[in-house]
Amino acid sequence: MRYFIELAYNGKNYHGWQIQPDAITVQEVLENALSILLRKKIQVMGAGRTDAGVHAKQLFAHFDMEMIESISDLIFKLNSFLPKDISIQNIFPVKEDAHARFDALEREYEYFISLQKNPFSNDFTYFIHHKPNIDLMNSAANVLLSYKDFQCFSRSNTDVKTYNCDVKEAYWKVENSQLIFTIKADRFLRNMVRAIVGTLLDIGFEKTSMLQFHEILKSKDRGKAGSSAPAKGLYLTKIVYPEQLKN
């Protein structure tokens, strides 16, 4: 049987989601825990990769296993066994051909910026000293919806067949002393959201004009876009799947 597992994690202590040699990752820790508790070698396939230090409020992965007698017991045991910075939210059976990565219809990320020094959020937001022009940043964010090729925001040497993404929403909002950027798309390239945030901040601080922003998007050149914003402010917040995926 195939199961989907829904989890959340604080990415501070991990070198991203995907298993890598000589680096601790969320996928490795989760696979080890499942394998020990289910007494069988378990491999999980995630809905996508998060970079080192990036957090996830919601991420799905799938794995194959014979009938699990008590899912609630497995969730309880996993949460007791896993480190405190990884939390299992749910496990549920899906169709045999369901795929956590390829069946995802939409993904949502949020990026948090703090305008006020706060020792309690230092590991989870990017602190900046001056407030940028939010109206300019929202105008630029809206421009993203009219483009498809985002190679200019992709990490170099990424093994992808296409740099096209369908960005459905992109906007900034202000909540108390925080700026929150939300972006939704069918897929994202590696480092894409952090590169977008860094470039939009350059616009907000009037280092980059709207005309230059269009030129960056058309250039397909990562070197022309802004610096990547720090990983600690980025969260994968939502993944949408078709309803008929559940078993």
In sequence order, what are the residues at sequence separation of 6 or more whose Cβ sits closer than 8 angstroms to the Cβ of residue 27? 17, 18, 19, 44, 46, 61
User: One fold for both 2-102 and 106-238?
Assistant: yes
Where exactly are the structural domains of the chain? 2-102, 106-238
Give pLDDT tens digits for 133-162. Answer: 999 999 999 999 999 999 999 987 677 889
How many Å apart are CA 67 and CA 201, to the nearest integer? 49
How many Å apart are CA 72 and CA 68, to the nearest integer? 10
How many Å apart are CA 34 and CA 123, to the nearest integer? 28
pLDDT of the residue at 7: 97
Q: What is the DSSP string of the chain?
A: -EEEEEEEE-GGGSS-SS-BTTB--HHHHHHHHHHHHHTS----EESS---TT-EEEEEEEEEE-SPPS-HHHHHHHHHHHS-TTEEEEEEEEE-TT--TTTT--EEEEEEEEESS--TTTTTTSEE-SS---HHHHHHHHHHGGG--B-GGGSPTT---S--B--EEEEEEEEETTEEEEEEEES---TTHHHHHHHHHHHHHTTSS-HHHHHHHHHHT-GGGSPPPPPGGGEEEEEEE--GGGB-
Give pLDDT tens digits for 192-213. Answer: 999 999 999 999 999 999 999 9
- CA distances to 97, 190, 244 from 103, rounded to whole Å, are 10, 19, 11
Q: Which range, of 94-98, 120-124, 143-147, 180-184, averages the lowest pLDDT?
A: 120-124
Does position 98 have pLDDT exceeding 80, yes or no? yes
Local confidence band at 74 (pLDDT 50, 70, 90 cut-offs): very high
Question: What mean pLDDT do residues 29-40 have?
Answer: 96
Say which of 51, 166, 202, 221 is annotated catalytic: 51
Tell me which residue of 95, 37, 40 sits closest to 65, measured CA to CA.
40
pLDDT of the residue at 131: 94
How many Å apart are CA 160 and CA 214, to the nearest integer? 23
Give pLDDT tens digits for 211-244. Answer: 999 999 999 999 999 999 999 999 999 999 998 8
Contact between residue 17 and residue 49 where contact means Cβ atoms under 8 Å apart: yes
Does position 247 have pLDDT exceeding 80, yes or no? no
Q: Which CATH architecture has domain 106-238?
A: 2-Layer Sandwich (3.30)
Class of the CATH domain delimited by 2-102: alpha beta
* Percent of the chain at pLDDT exceeding 90: 87
pLDDT of the residue at 151: 93
pLDDT of the residue at 148: 95
**Known catalytic residue at 51:** yes
